[in-house]
Structure 1
Amino acid sequence: MPRPRQGAAVDFKQRGASEGGGGSSRDNVIPLENDYSWWIRGKFIGVGSFGRVALGWHRQLGTFMAVKQVELPVNNSYKEDKQKTLVEALEREIDLLKELHHERIVQYIGSDIEKGHINIFLEYVAGGSIASLLGNYGPFSEILVRSFVKQILEGLDYLHECDIIHRDIKGANILVDNKGCIKISDFGISKKVEDHLKSITVKSSRPSLQGSTFWMAPEVVKQIETTYKADIWGLGCLVVEMFTGTHPFPQFSQMQALFQIGSNCTPDIPEDISDDAKDFLKRTFEV
């Protein structure tokens, strides 16, 4: 029975180099001549870090999948450079996803190349994201926030045990199934922590500024070495988002928010929540 090719998108750079004989990035994205009739693409259901996400239907099993589809730019040198960066990022994401097996993490099924696209097949989570639920139904009750936070912490604990920093914890990247169970998704800018960086240290080189502005931790904005703390700060911002229905620092533009965060300003803590919830948020925002 046809199934997604496990890790095909990880291997296609080597395949392209061997088939094309050259080292250009265009040689590294030769599409495979495969039969893709085993699945059908449905409607687009979202946007990820590097491409759109479509609903896919397995024609033999009758099951649904989320299919992240990323177009591979070609033809001119600028796009080839962009393509190389894109492909490397996707390879990192796939490498991470292949390692992760936990009920709080969206599961990786496989990947392949088709007609200039990389397809990444992922577990489909029917309820949508926390961000979409907030948009449709408004702020959450504290009971629900507590339930979601507990589950997210289970997922983050697993990731950190695997030496992985997500780096983009926010409502749009946390999915909810039809039973209220949480799945952490979108590992496009996640990274594996090197052994010598597992302790909280400042690295001499400056890492790139990556993430979603309003959820960024001060260490990310300051471009010092990103640690596990960045995910805890992001969780605090997500809690504010769930309580208020909007992102942290709603009164500021993105540039103003970057300045505020870089100056170690914390998001406003909602007044109409319990003392325990306020204390939890204060702890997540400790620098």
Structure 2
Amino acid sequence: MALDEDLEFKETLEGKGYSFIKNGHIGQIWRTPENKAVKIIDAYLAKNKRYDFKKAIPFYESMIRERIVHQNLVEIYGVNDDANVAGYDHLSMEFITGMDLKEIVNDNIKEGKFFSIEDSVGISLQILSGLKYLHECEIPHKDLHGGNILLTKENTVKITDIGGPDATVTKAAYASPEQLYRHVEIDHRTDFYSFGVVLHEMLTNELEIENMTTSNTRIPLELENLILKLTKRDKRERHQSADEVIRDLKKVDYGLKGFQVLGDGLLGPSYLSPEKNVVKVLDAADISDRELVVWMSSGLNEETQNHPKIVGYRYSNPKIDETHLQRRYIEGKSLEETIKTRGKFKGEETAIIMRDVMDGLAYAEGKYDLVHGNVKPSNIIIGKDGKLKVVDFLPPVLVQESAKNGRPREQERQYFHPAVLNGEEPTHKTDIYSIGAIAFRMISGEPYRPGKRLNLTARGDKELEELITDALML
């Protein structure tokens, strides 16, 4: 007998204080007197849809046993644990007061409304937070769609119906190509495709990605490009991790708050704030805000640091909700930009820049025992007044961690001492090595590689040659 035909069972539940919530894909959702939700499996429906709940029981039991709990996931409390529902397979779970995204989209369509860009991004960041946690637990959702994403009255996202090993797609419009055609292995990247469809639906009230064009002026181009990448047919061309998606979403989020993207650094992206401060987000760093403040106060607080060739940090920006550093913006060009524009430098110019950088670093070392850790041309600014500034010091442990994880881009690895690339913590000596590598590139026009040598004797720059060679021998 189908569950909805079992009137006696329904009357029994209602008599015990249970209340019917809604029909689901393979059963019904009820609210218990203890304010929990119970998902009752309709064996008849499940069989027709080729879903075997018995096979999923070990998966759900492991989620309970291993405490797979997150603020953006509906928590599962038990499997077949409610005596009042005996006779039917069921899941006991957290009860959520609110609506699912599909219901909200349907209401928006009726009323001619859309989710705002800000709300869409905010909801999306919560969805990605839940997915990131699941993926870190090596659990892809496999059936993400608007009906499985609940929004509480407090606007907190709760993802439900997490799929087990044999989970099937319930809404084909949200399914990735690999789910529909099963020509490749299904992994966490299938969730990114489904999420892209969800985000597109929130913004447009439509499911068809093909309908989205860059002529939709309501949607920022960066957000459209994000959706197009999320929904690539080939999963290798999508984002490869939740962190990547979150980073791109954050760029859109900060853009809505008036921030301009400056570029991606060793530990995360940099932005120019509306107040003309450079904000360095440390989204790839394992460090707390308190630890950063302690490190900064050791000599890089702008209020106490006054060396003319060093730019210190200011306190945090209240509009940024991630761990970050903030400094004043310097009008001018980075040495990296100057090298690309000019090509080779004369020996005298190179020597002056080397001297100025060493002067700033020597001050930081002598007065505060500080290491820069990330000396490279993009962190040396030549101001409009012609004065040089060394910027973006980093805690050595973060540079060490990033180098271990292979984060330095290929074109920047030339400035890192081999010991740092091999996992050692940067030191004052490795900073000097970096200056030598920069000077080598300025003089030769080529990136430095260990073992390369300069021959400046014929140019009358033998002393500079020895200085650079000595720096690279450290």
TM-score by length of 1: 0.64
More helix by share: 2
Structure 1 gap segments, 5+ residues each: 1-35, 59-63, 74-78, 192-206, 250-265
| Matching residue of 2:223 | 277
8 Å contact kept, 1:125–1:175: yes
Which of 127, 135, 140 does residue 160 from structure 1 map onto?
Answer: 135
Aligned partners of 1:84 and 1:219: how far apart in 2? 19
Which structure would you say has the larger RCO, counting Cα contacts within 8 Å and 6 or more residues apart? Answer: 1
Which of 233, 239, 250 does residue 199 from structure 2 map onto?
Answer: 239
| Matching residue of 1:66 | 37
Report the CA distance shift for 1:267/1:163 in structure 2 as closer, same or farther (over 3 A).
Answer: farther
8 Å contact kept, 1:131–1:171: yes
Q: Does 1:150 align with 2:128?
A: no
Partner AA of 2:171 in structure 1: S
Q: How many residues align?
A: 209
Q: Does 1:43 align with 2:9?
A: no
Q: CA deviation at 1:244?
A: 2.1
Q: Does 1:218 align with 2:177?
A: yes
Partner AA of 1:106 in structure 2: V
Report the CA distance shift for 1:66/1:280 in structure 2 as closer, same or farther (over 3 A).
Answer: same
* RMSD, aligned α-carbons: 3.1
Structure 2 gap segments, 5+ residues each: 1-12, 235-474
Q: Does 1:105 align with 2:105?
A: no
Aligned partners of 1:83 and 1:243: how far apart in 2? 31
Aligned partners of 2:198 and 2:51: how far apart in 1? 29
Aligned partners of 2:58 and 2:105: how far apart in 1? 30
3-state secondary structure, aligned to 1:40 = coil
Aligned partners of 1:46 and 1:141: how far apart in 2? 29
Aligned partners of 1:90 and 1:39: how far apart in 2? 28
Aligned partners of 1:226 and 1:281: how far apart in 2? 20
8 Å contact kept, 1:209–1:221: no
8 Å contact kept, 1:45–1:55: no
Aligned partners of 2:75 and 2:15: how far apart in 1? 20
Aligned partners of 1:122 and 1:209: how far apart in 2? 20
| Matching residue of 2:31 | 55
3-state secondary structure, aligned to 2:72 = coil
Aligned partners of 2:119 and 2:97: how far apart in 1? 18
Aligned partners of 1:170 and 1:176: how far apart in 2? 13
8 Å contact kept, 2:38–2:90: yes
Deviations 1:233-261 (A, max 9, x none): 00000011111224x23xxxxxxxxxxxx
Report the CA distance shift for 1:274/1:92 in structure 2 as closer, same or farther (over 3 A).
Answer: farther
8 Å contact kept, 1:50–1:86: no
Aligned partners of 1:81 and 1:210: how far apart in 2? 14
Q: Does 1:125 align with 2:96?
A: yes
Report the CA distance shift for 1:92/1:176 in structure 2 as closer, same or farther (over 3 A).
Answer: farther
Deviations 1:95-114 (A, max 9, x none): 35424111011011223263
Aligned partners of 1:145 and 1:269: how far apart in 2? 16
| Matching residue of 2:392 | none
Partner AA of 1:86 in structure 2: D
Q: Does 1:177 align with 2:142?
A: no
Q: CA deviation at 1:213?
A: 0.6
Q: Does 1:94 align with 2:70?
A: no
Aligned partners of 1:180 and 1:276: how far apart in 2? 24
Q: Does 1:227 align with 2:187?
A: yes
Aligned partners of 2:93 and 2:188: how far apart in 1? 25
Q: CA deviation at 1:50?
A: 2.5
8 Å contact kept, 1:237–1:267: no
Aligned partners of 1:81 and 1:43: how far apart in 2? 22
Report the CA distance shift for 1:146/1:41 in structure 2 as closer, same or farther (over 3 A).
Answer: same
Deviations 1:26-85 (A, max 9, x none): xxxxxxxxxx999631122341x4311112222xxxxx1211112446xxxxx9988996
Aligned partners of 1:176 and 1:219: how far apart in 2? 28
Aligned partners of 2:145 and 2:175: how far apart in 1? 10
Q: CA deviation at 1:92?
A: 4.6
Q: CA deviation at 1:121?
A: 1.4
Deviations 1:170-210 (A, max 9, x none): 100001111101011012x343xxxxxxxxxxxxxxx9963
Q: CA deviation at 1:157?
A: 0.5
Partner AA of 1:70 in structure 2: I
8 Å contact kept, 1:167–1:211: no
The structure with the larger Rg is: 2
Taking only the aligned residue pairs, the percentage that are identical comes to: 21
| Matching residue of 1:263 | none
